[in-house]
Amino acid sequence: MNAFEVTTLNEFILEKQAQFPQAEGDLSHLLHHVGTAAKIVNREVNKAGLVDILGEMGSTNVQGEDQKKLDVFANDHFINSLHSCGEVCAIASEENESFILFDDDVARNGKYVFLMDPLDGSSNIDVNVSIGTIFSIYKRKSKVGEKATMEDFLQPGTEQVAAGYVLYGSSTMLVYTTGDGINGFTLDPSIGEFCLSHKLIKNPEDGYIYSLNEGNYLKFPAGVKQYIKYCQEKDEATHRPYSSRYIGSLVSDVHRNLLKGGIFMYPVTESAPQGKLRLLYECNPIAFIIEQAGGKATNGTKRIMELNPTSLHERTPFYCGSTNMVLKVEEFIKVFG
């Protein structure tokens, strides 16, 4: 691709908007601000080793997890940036116990609510392993002009109008969907723009990579243990044994399996009886993306996006990736529990 063929994120957003004559540009404006905020967080992530932004804040978040300085920076920056864009009336974040209400004349007229894990996998920051931002956007249920309510956030994933992630890796990518396929944009530092690099990503329906923390093996449900053994058995016809790949950073593991084919699993364990990953701002947005690419995302028995949330930070078991792999682990769970 020569320099004249590049499509920037903002050009892409406007081209997409033009396909919907009734669109007023609010979502486009919001997505533009997400891209800008991601570039600024990326700048800080990339120099984290050089300035005093590594390490612990000495505080913990609502999950009881040690907050990293970059965690707090990313959270604060996305909140401030999305407040200033005027399209969002409130934000829910992994880092905050309740949602952040934007109670001013402009933001109260915002049509959307925004949910995010501002810097997922942050325990990997200090060891220079890829991390990510995950976001999910809904149309508010409460009346425009009034204060946002918890009902705006407790919507099933099928109601998402947009979802995406930023992967701060060997290159920085923004991958998102508004419900008509998913596209990936790679940040070109030389021009400071996210440029379309992965058009209409399709997830292979078969894959040969399985991803989960096998250190929890003894605590997994019987069906998951049986599936792991299935992955490890030799069978040339089905390309087994599969490869085990686990980075421990959700966006990185999901992105690899999205492109190459594979399954990511975070089952229930004794220490995480509901699973570890959060439904609203980790599993639902990833599920939207995976399904838009042709993959599947369930809790082992039910489609993730059809789960009805009852609280902001609720957790769920999570199985996502290549359709035939998710169907296979569901078979084992159905038979063995």
Which is nearer to ligand P6P, 12 or 220 (by Cβ)?
A: 220
Rg (CA), the chain: 20
292 near ligand P6P, judged by CB under 6 A: no
Helix ranges restricted to H, the chain: 9-18, 26-46, 69-85, 105-108, 222-232, 250-260, 284-292, 323-336
Residues 266-285 that bind ligand P6P (CB under 6 A): 276
Which is nearer to ligand P6P, 90 or 251 (by Cβ)?
A: 251
Judged by phi (left if over 0) then psi (alpha if -120 to 50, else beta), residue 199 lies in beta
DSSP 65: P
Question: CB of 235: closest distance to ligand P6P in angstroms?
Answer: 27
**Beta strands 263-266 and 243-244, pairing class:** unpaired
Which is nearer to ligand P6P, 87 or 117 (by Cβ)?
A: 117
Among residues 17, 249, 284, 323, which is the contact residue for ligand P6P, using CB under 6 A? Answer: 249
Which is nearer to ligand P6P, 9 or 280 (by Cβ)?
A: 280
Question: How far separated are the first and last CA of the chain, in Å rounded?
Answer: 50
Question: CB of 254: closest distance to ligand P6P in angstroms?
Answer: 8
238 near ligand P6P, judged by CB under 6 A: no
Question: CB of 72: closest distance to ligand P6P in angstroms?
Answer: 16
Question: CB of 281: closest distance to ligand P6P in angstroms?
Answer: 11
Question: CB of 124: closest distance to ligand P6P in angstroms?
Answer: 8
Task: Give the binding range for ligand P6P (CB under 6 A) out of 81-89, 171-179, 242-250, 300-308.
Answer: 242-250
**Which 3 state secondary structure label does DSSP give 131?**
strand
Give the separation between CA 140 and CA 109, rounded to whole angstroms.
10
Residues 104-123 that bind ligand P6P (CB under 6 A): 120-121, 123
Among residues 10, 213, 238, 324, which is the contact residue for ligand P6P, using CB under 6 A? Answer: 213
Question: CB of 318: closest distance to ligand P6P in angstroms?
Answer: 9
Question: CB of 133: closest distance to ligand P6P in angstroms?
Answer: 11
Which is nearer to ligand P6P, 37 or 265 (by Cβ)?
A: 265
Among residues 250, 280, 307, 312, which is the contact residue for ligand P6P, using CB under 6 A? Answer: 250
- Which string of b and e fits 110-121 if b means at least 16 CB within 10 Å? bbbbbbbbbbbb
Which is nearer to ligand P6P, 248 or 337 (by Cβ)?
A: 248
Give the separation between CA 83 and CA 103, rounded to whole angstroms.
10
Full 3-state SS string of 243-296:
EECCCCCHHHHHHHHHHHCCEEEECCCCCCECECCEHHHHHHHHHHHHHHCCCE
Amino acid at 32: H
Give the binding site for ligand P6P (CB under 6 A). Answer: 120-121, 123, 213, 248-250, 276
